[in-house]
């Protein structure tokens, strides 16, 4: 048996015997000649077979091919400029239908996103979808490479927890041997644990769960959280610097490897931002959008989505940046573990990162002084006893530290100009979706 060649590698080969394998995208079953477009994970190629007088086994099996069937083909590669699809074709000598498909495809290109998600494995066969996950792979790989080159340690924190990790409201509870366990909403507490553990700099890319009943384009009940936490910082400024450098590394890799394909498939440019990203205190950001005709509804709270879009439009016009750090969040709207500003305890050393008008990340310096941390927990109505395991991390020595959490799906959605996190999540999970 000839070894299989990926479609993308065919063009570089000389004419001669090849084997290809993939699924059937189209069949043109003509009287004199039969054409099949075969797609694999790397591209599509035309198969051709002159029809013999009175048909034979191969011509009959081509006539009977159902779209989507997985086939293995041996034949002769021929370069021919007249072939529209890449200037090559494979003349079929043997064809083996390895995985026949049912004749009716349950989805079409114009099916609703919900219908497509019902049949996600078929939806993912579209080349654009394939590209989404190649971009994701490249992006994650570049982040990981950057971290490794900068001496970070990779950790995998448990997702089964004894208590809430971000807020009680969004907690999934599961039965745990007759007791209760909770699904981690964030690796927050355990990535911080790496600091008293003396790890210095850590990262994690892993699942996070939130029982958030919303149906927006940016919320999922399970999502991939990209987290980092570093020791020996002076303030959140050090975290922002690491964050922006990391994003530049990730986006540079995506642009270099997929920039052209992304432009063709999604009509957007992968732009590598220049650093530093603009930094705007939240209160000032609210003033700016108010001056531009939009008043954020609850002034004592975070930006709402419209406010985020407006401030993004401003930084795009003013600084040509797709990214902006909103800083100086009030302590009242931040979790107890954020460090308050020295000399101005109403503010925290924290930030949100906005990309293309959507929040993709929260970061902060953490409070590492146990007495202050306990006090802040109490102030937020939390029971220090329930948080004892976490508070213990701070009783035996810990350096000043901080980090961020970033939603991978949101970054990909914005990077590719796609309308929903559903399009960039391998299998989306929302309030109405547990299958497939
Ligand atoms: P936060 O709660 O802001 O911060 O979450 C960080 C980032 O995670 C993404 N995200 C989500 N993505 C999809 N669906 C959701 N339901 C969802 N919820 C959050 C967003 C968000 O910006 N522990 C802190 C981070 C830190 O301080 O290190 C945290 O979890 O992109």
User: Measured from the CA of 350, which atom of ligand 1 is nearest?
Assistant: 27
Report the pLDDT value the prediction gives residue 300, as an integer from 0 to 100. 83
Gap between the Cα atoms of 24 and 348, Å rounded: 57
Looking only at the bridges linking them, the beta strands covering 153-154 and 173-176 are unpaired
CA of 205 to the centre of ligand 1 (A): 13
Q: How far is the CA of 407 from the centre of ligand 1 (A)?
A: 6
Distance 404 CA to ligand 1 centre (A): 9
Instruction: Write the CA distances from 329 to 4, 47, 274, 313, 357, integer angstroms.
Output: 57, 60, 24, 21, 18
The residue whose CA has the least distance to atom 16 of ligand 1 is: 219
Q: Exposed, middle or buried by CB within 10 Å (0-12, 13-18, 19+), for 436?
A: exposed
Residue nearest to ligand 1 atom 12, measured at CA = 407
Give counts: helices (H), strands (E), the chain.
11, 18
CA 188 to ligand 1: nearest atom: 23
pLDDT at site 2: 86
CA of 308 to the centre of ligand 1 (A): 15
> What are the structure tokens assigned to 425, written together?
């999540």
Highest CATH level, class, for 7-99: mainly beta
Do 278 and 147 touch, CB atoms closer than 8 A?
no
Fold of 120-424: BirA Bifunctional Protein; domain 2 (3.30.930)
pLDDT by position in tens, the chain (length 436): 789 999 999 999 999 999 999 999 999 999 999 999 999 999 999 999 999 999 999 999 999 999 999 999 999 999 999 999 999 999 999 999 999 999 999 999 899 999 999 999 999 999 999 999 999 999 999 999 999 999 999 999 999 999 888 877 899 999 999 999 999 999 999 999 999 999 999 999 999 999 999 999 999 999 999 999 999 999 999 999 999 999 999 999 999 999 999 999 999 999 999 999 999 999 999 999 999 999 999 878 899 999 999 999 999 999 999 999 999 999 999 999 999 999 999 999 999 999 999 999 999 999 999 999 999 999 999 999 989 999 999 999 999 999 999 999 999 999 999 999 999 999 999 999 999 9
Q: Which residue shows structure tokens 């957007």?
A: 268
- Asked whether the beta carbons of 188 and 337 are under 8 A apart, the reply is yes
For residue 301, what pLDDT is reported?
87
Q: Whose CA is nearest to atom 10 of ligand 1?
A: 407
- Which amino acid residue places its CA nearest to atom 13 of ligand 1? 219
Ligand 1 atom with least separation from CA of 212? 16
- Residue 363 Cα to ligand 1 midpoint, Å, equals 9
pLDDT of res. 167: 79
- Cα-to-centroid distance, 68 and ligand 1 (Å): 38
Which pLDDT value is given to residue 1?
Answer: 79
* Domains in the chain: boundaries: 7-99, 120-424
Helix (H) or strand (E) holding 354: strand 350-355
Q: Ligand 1 atom closest to Cα of 337?
A: 27
What pLDDT shows up at residue 166?
83
What is the rounded (10 degree) CA torsion for 54, 59, 64, 69? 180
Measure the CA–CA gap between 18 and 274, rounded to whole angstroms.
Answer: 46
- 231, 235, 236, 241: CA torsion to nearest 10: -80
The CA 342 to ligand 1 mean position distance, Å, reads 26
Question: Ligand 1: which residues within 6 Å by Cβ?
Answer: 166, 186, 188, 210, 212, 219-220, 223, 225, 227, 359-364, 403-407, 409-410
Residue owning the nearest CA to atom 8 of ligand 1:
407
The per-residue pLDDT for 115 is 97
- How far does the centroid of ligand 1 lie from the alpha carbon of residue 160, in Å? 18
Distance 90 CA to ligand 1 centre (A): 49
Which of 215, 361, 420 has the most ligand 1 atoms within 8 A of CB, as the residue to mutate? Answer: 361
Range 379-385, long-range pairs (CB < 8 A, 24+ positions): 379/336, 380/335, 380/336, 382/336
Q: Do domains 7-99 and 120-424 have the same CATH topology?
A: no
The pLDDT assigned to 364 comes to: 98
Least Cα distance to 412 among 403, 401, 425, 402 occurs for 425
């Amino acid at each position: 048996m000839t070894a299989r060649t990926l479609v993308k590698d065919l063009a570089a080969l000389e004419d001669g015997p090849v084997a290809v394998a993939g699924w059937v995208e189209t069949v043109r079953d003509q009287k004199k000649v039969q054409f099949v477009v075969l797609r694999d994970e790397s591209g599509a190629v035309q198969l051709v077979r002159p029809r013999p007088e009175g048909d034979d086994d191969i011509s009959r099996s081509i006539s009977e091919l159902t779209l989507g069937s997985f086939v293995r083909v041996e034949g002769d590669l021929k370069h021919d400029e007249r072939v529209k699809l890449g200037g090559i074709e494979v003349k079929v000598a043997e064809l083996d239908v390895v995985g026949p498909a049912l004749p009716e495809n349950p989805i079409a290109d114009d099916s609703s996103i919900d219908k497509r998600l019902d049949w996600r494995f078929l939806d993912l066969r579209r080349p654009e979808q394939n590209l989404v996950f190649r971009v994701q792979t490249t992006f994650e790989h570049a982040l990981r490479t950057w971290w490794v080159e900068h001496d970070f340690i990779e950790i995998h924190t448990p997702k089964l927890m004894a208590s809430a990790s971000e807020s009680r409201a969004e907690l999934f509870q599961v039965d745990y041997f007759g007791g209760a366990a909770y699904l981690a909403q964030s690796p927050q507490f355990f990535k911080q644990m790496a600091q008293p553990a003396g790890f210095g700099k850590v990262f994690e890319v892993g699942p996070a769960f939130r029982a958030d009943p919303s149906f927006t384009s940016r919320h999922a009940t399970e999502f991939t959280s990209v987290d980092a936490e570093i020791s020996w910082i002076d303030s959140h400024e050090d975290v922002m610097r690491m964050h922006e450098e990391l994003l530049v590394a990730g986006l540079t890799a995506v642009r270099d490897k997929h920039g052209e394909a992304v432009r063709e498939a999604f009509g957007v440019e992968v732009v590598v931002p220049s650093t530093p990203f603009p930094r705007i205190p939240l209160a000032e950001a609210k003033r700016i959008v108010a001056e531009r005709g939009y008043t954020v509804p609850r002034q004592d709270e975070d930006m709402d989505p419209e406010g985020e879009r407006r401030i993004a439009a401003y930084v795009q016009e003013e600084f040509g940046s797709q990214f902006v750090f909103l800083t100086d969040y009030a302590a009242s709207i931040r979790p107890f573990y954020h460090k308050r500003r020295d000399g101005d305890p109403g503010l925290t050393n924290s930030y949100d990162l906005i990309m293309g008008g959507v929040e993709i990340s929260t970061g902060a310096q953490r409070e590492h002084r146990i007495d202050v941390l306990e006090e802040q927990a109490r102030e937020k109505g939390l029971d220090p006893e329930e948080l004892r395991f976490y508070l213990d991390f701070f009783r035996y020595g810990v350096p000043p530290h901080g980090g961020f959490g970033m939603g991978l799906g949101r970054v990909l959605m914005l990077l590719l100009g796609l309308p929903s996190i559903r399009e960039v999540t391998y299998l989306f999970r929302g309030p109405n979706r547990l299958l497939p």
